[in-house]
Amino acid sequence: MNVMTGSEASLMWQRPDGTPPSVPRPWDRGPGPVRFDEQTESWVVNGYEAAREILLGDGWSSDPSAADASRRALRAAGIEDAPLAQTMLTLDAPDHGRVRGSLRDVFTPHCVAAMGEGVEAIAAGVISGVAAGEPFDLMSLIAEPLPIAVIAEWMALEPDVAQLLWDETSELVGALEGTVLPTEALPSISGLTALFAEFLSAASERRRHPEDDLLSLLATEPELELDEVVSNAILLAVAGHETTAKLLGTSMIRLCSGEPGERLIDTLGDVGADGVIDELLRLDGTAQVVVRAATEQHEIAGRTIEAGARVIVAIAAANRDPAVFEAPHEFRPDRERDRPHLALGYGRHRCLGAALSRLELRIALRQIKARQPRLAGPVTWHPSGILRGPTRAPMIFTDGGDR
Ligand code: HEM
């Protein structure tokens, strides 16, 4: 029974398989665009306008240690810096611009579009390897390997480094979540140490003998110190891997839920169309929150946010703000796109890999659709309020005639 009022309910992430979220999330606990949450000692921003104002505005830091609550959490976890500190994700101006600027030219939609054929081939290799008529786990056989293979090829990583990315997936997810929102329960991130050593050796080698790949491009950037090359290369590998994998998983669950013939995958002409991808991102985007620290006092939606306060910008809630998105829970690929969703962030830290993630998703969804997929059992969801998506999603391909 739904006992919530309209405005409260509208903020909830309704999982596409109908199961409730496994962890309570502060942005589901009450209405109002901006309010203080005692449990997380943070301001929680649910409203679209307030979220945009913060992500675009000055007087905010992306450095977790700039917020009193995050600093306390890091200290309680016995570490000084958030995992993946010194990456562009957690840097502020002017260092943020310097690091991001070194990659800006290669992550443009134009350059990424040129990777289409390569991504098609990688996706075909992964997806065609799955036999028809036999249940399989979408996450481990397709959704996880695909983005790892794409970034590994672009960075020309040795197979054992790509394997390490794969082996350490759950720790890397923890590291990414710890960067976004450090808590007292920060998980062990020893997997990062091994990855750091591998990337350090590869980056030093490419600095001396550059080739035509993304890691060489970073490694030969005169503006970057070697440790910055390494941490940002790891950020690209980690940020681009789990986010895309989880969105592909959630998207397939949404597209394949329902009765045969009435499922979205049966009724949508092109599952890779821009409007479809945007609705999947708006409703199910992997990152539920981004976090900022106030470096000065702000008045947002009538509330005073003091310098040093931590602000959880719940982009998942903002993307369902009924003041901006009519019937926010409905999947409407033909929605006006004049008010962009915030699933890939907004402002100066907007996702650098936005074009790549869209390309991977578009190609994977089209190829998977051609295999006539069906859900084949209950989904297991990642138990987190920071990144969302499945860890296991049983499916079956029926293009071999086995229906
Ligand atoms: C569906 C997949 C993806 C989602 C939902 C996603 C989401 C996001 C979000 C919300 C941010 C903003 C963080 C903030 O404002 O604090 C972000 C930043 C970032 N993303 Fe993504 N991302 C995805 C895929 C990728 C891919 C494929 C790559 C690269 C290969 C990537 C690399 C980055 C980087 C480097 C940043 C930091 C940008 C900066 O701080 O300037 N992401 N992403």
For residues 31 and 34, give the distance between their C-alpha atoms in angstroms, rounded to a whole number. Answer: 9
* Model confidence at 182: pLDDT above 90: no
Q: At what angle do helices 159-167 and 145-155 cross, to 10 degrees?
A: 140
Q: Above pLDDT 90, what percent of the chain?
A: 67
From CA 192, how far away is CA 244, in angstroms rounded? Answer: 20
- For the chain, the domain total comes to 1
Q: How confident is the model at residue 29, as a pLDDT? A: 58
> For residue 5, is it within any domain?
no
Return d(Cα 205, Cα 94) in angstroms, integer: 28
Q: Residue 7: pLDDT band by 50, 70, 90 thresholds?
A: very low
* Res. 257: pLDDT tops 90: yes
Dihedral sign computed on CA atoms, order 131, 133, 134, 140: positive
φ, ψ of residue 323 in degrees (nearest 5): -70, -15
Q: Which residue has the tokens 């240690």?
A: 65
CATH code: domain of residue 270: 1.10.630.10
* Mean pLDDT of all residues in 95-108: 91
First and final C-alpha spacing in the chain: 34
| Residue of 190, 187, 185 whose CA lies nearest to 76 | 185
Is residue 6 over pLDDT 80? Answer: no
pLDDT band at 173 (very low <50, low <70, confident <90, very high): confident
Mutate which of 243, 248, 319, 387 for ligand 1 pocket (most atoms within 8 A of beta carbon): 243
Domain-embedded: residue 304: no
Task: Look at residue 190 and tell me whether its pLDDT is greater than 70.
Answer: no
- d(CA 190, CA 194) in angstroms, rounded, equals 7
Torsion of CA 137, 142, 147, 149, to 10 degrees: 120
Residue 246: closest CA among 181, 188, 169, 328? 169
Let me know if residue 137 belongs to a domain. yes
- Domain residue limits at 173: 12-20+85-286+313-397
Confidence of residue 337 (pLDDT cuts 50, 70, 90): confident
Q: What is the pLDDT of residues 277-297, one digit of tens each?
A: 999 999 999 999 999 999 999
Which residue's CA is the closest to the ligand 1 atom numbered 16? 290
The answer to the question of residue 31 being in a domain is no
Which whole number is the average pLDDT over 375-394?
92
In this structure, is residue 245 part of a structural domain? Answer: yes
- pLDDT value, residue 244: 96
- Give the residue whose CA is nearest to atom 7 of ligand 1: 344
* Structural domain includes residue 340: yes
Per-residue pLDDT for 75 more than 90?
A: no
User: Ligand 1: which of 100, 151, 280, 351 to mutate, judged by most atoms within 8 Å of the beta carbon?
Assistant: 351
Tell me whether residue 27 is in a domain. Answer: no
Whether 337 is in a domain gets the answer yes
Note whether 126 and 149 are within 8 A (CB).
yes
CA-nearest of 76, 233, 172 to 387 is 172
Q: For the segment 350-369, what is each residue's pLDDT rounded down to a tens digit? A: 999 999 999 999 999 999 99
Ligand 1 geometric centre to CA of 352 (Å): 6
